[in-house]
Structure 1
């Protein structure tokens, strides 16, 4: 018997594929796709994606933070934020990256999540801390991808290549840098709130495999804080902004995804 989550997954993948092919076709023809049509199709896919997550993550005992459910959640949130940012900046082409990421996350979450793992009941404050942390991770992951694209764009401009793939595909350098700092500021604010919730809702922040997460998260927060102060006070941009963005995300990923993968997949904890 075909389950309802499987039907939702198939329909969501169909909506994502349709959106992706539509945008690619217009980019190949060098014409502007209908933004509202793209957004409507993507949002439909996201609603179906959310229905799958609702079934997989919400249990009578609490929220099931399996590593693959987390990947599915963050990839869907990444696509949602890409759509929101595209409403006020000309960056619709970046959805071409976010759609495959969301589709891959959905497939991984649906097929590989482990419902037999024990679920510990948690408080509302702790759930808010975790969801905000995941949201901050998603936004800052988008900023890291954006920084890599900026690096490719800068490289082509400096070397004066005749075939400028990234320069032609992406928005202007100024628009890309503006969006990078939009993402960094949004992610930094959410990360700050998430850490605040953590300190007030977790009894022992340096116990239960949380010490390394705390240290790496605080180091990442400090890197982003220095970068944002440097940008708005001293005009930091370009390669310096790219380096700080990637270092900050590497620290965050090392503390969050790395430790969660080791605990669940290797130690089965």
Structure 2
């Protein structure tokens, strides 16, 4: 872990530099330089990825404590936001997400960790990483849905200052939401299918609850995506379905842990 500390420090510095520029631009203190923010963000993601290699213990298997997972998810979310900025004006979100990623990376340096996957289990590693990637995108989609609902409400009441002035246009916010949902659905599909292939049983012990609620979430998001493409679902309908599916995933992840804890005493 100590060998990767310089990369953690660099990543934190890049994250904070990128977020600071966005904050200053929003305050009207500096000009908009999207390329600079992307370069800082890409530098942060690169050094964060190297630091994650040490935090997750990938050389010896996989370490998945709470702080390691938080650091990984924050990396995935920032990577998506940076990639999405090539199509949508999402760099304003870096003002909040970059410092959050820096915080989780910092806290990850103090994580004790718990070895949960031995080396040589590439299939299980793929299942875990696909599932966590899906969770991170759907978590971001939930935040996006809440912002969309707030934006809708402010527009209806003709509030054109404050948060509404910082967010991208409403149509852009909706397109970004469905991009997040589609990417998350693909990863969740891979996570569920790989679980059936590489896990001994998807329905034994706490896995049964996790599998049930994960499939329920998959059906919920799938219905929303089909409803959007075929029936034009959007606005508050999309918000409700997104939050409902994300709640099912939340129950799948934390509920299964509670069940396992109860079973094992």
Q: What is the TM-score when the length of structure 1 is the normalising length? A: 0.90
Residue in structure 2 matched with residue 49 of structure 1 by the alignment: 48
Assess, with a 3 A threshold, how the Cα gap between structure 1 residues 257 and 104 changes in structure 2: closer, same or farther. farther
1:89-104 → structure 2 map (5 Å cutoff): 89-104=88-103
For 2:8 and 2:234, the matched residues in 1 are separated by 41
Residue in structure 2 matched with residue 195 of structure 1 by the alignment: 192
Task: Quote the offset at 1:61 in angstroms.
Answer: 4.4
Q: Is the 8 A contact 1:15 1:44 kept in 2?
A: yes
1:16-35 → structure 2 map (5 Å cutoff): 16-29=15-28, 33-35=32-34
Assess, with a 3 A threshold, how the Cα gap between structure 1 residues 59 and 242 changes in structure 2: closer, same or farther. closer
The one of 139, 143, 164 aligned to 1:167: 164
For 1:110 and 1:268, the matched residues in 2 are separated by 29
For 1:200 and 1:4, the matched residues in 2 are separated by 36
- The total of aligned residue pairs comes to 265
**Structure 1 residue ranges without an equivalent (≥5):** none
For the pair 1:142 / 2:140, whether they are aligned, the reply is yes
Residue in structure 1 matched with residue 214 of structure 2 by the alignment: 217
For 1:108 and 1:259, the matched residues in 2 are separated by 25
For 2:48 and 2:25, the matched residues in 1 are separated by 25
For the pair 1:152 / 2:150, whether they are aligned, the reply is yes
Task: Single out whichever of 99-108 and 214-223 deviates more from structure 2.
Answer: 99-108
Task: Quote the offset at 1:201 in angstroms.
Answer: 1.2
Q: Is the 8 A contact 2:206 2:259 kept in 1?
A: no
Helix, strand or coil: the match of 1:134? helix
For 1:24 and 1:193, the matched residues in 2 are separated by 37
Assess, with a 3 A threshold, how the Cα gap between structure 1 residues 60 and 189 changes in structure 2: closer, same or farther. closer
Residue in structure 2 matched with residue 73 of structure 1 by the alignment: 72
Assess, with a 3 A threshold, how the Cα gap between structure 1 residues 150 and 32 changes in structure 2: closer, same or farther. farther
Residue in structure 2 matched with residue 11 of structure 1 by the alignment: 10
Residue in structure 2 matched with residue 108 of structure 1 by the alignment: 107
Helix, strand or coil: the match of 2:204? coil
**Structure 2 residue ranges without an equivalent (≥5):** none
For 1:120 and 1:15, the matched residues in 2 are separated by 33
Helix, strand or coil: the match of 2:32? coil
Q: What is the TM-score when the length of structure 2 is the normalising length? A: 0.91
For 1:108 and 1:157, the matched residues in 2 are separated by 38
Q: Is the 8 A contact 1:76 1:105 kept in 2?
A: no
Residue in structure 2 matched with residue 178 of structure 1 by the alignment: 175
Task: Quote the offset at 1:48 in angstroms.
Answer: 1.7
Task: Quote the offset at 1:128 in angstroms.
Answer: 0.7
For 1:267 and 1:74, the matched residues in 2 are separated by 28
Helix, strand or coil: the match of 2:95? helix
Task: Single out whichever of 87-96 and 75-84 deviates more from structure 2.
Answer: 87-96
The one of 218, 224, 228 aligned to 1:227: 224
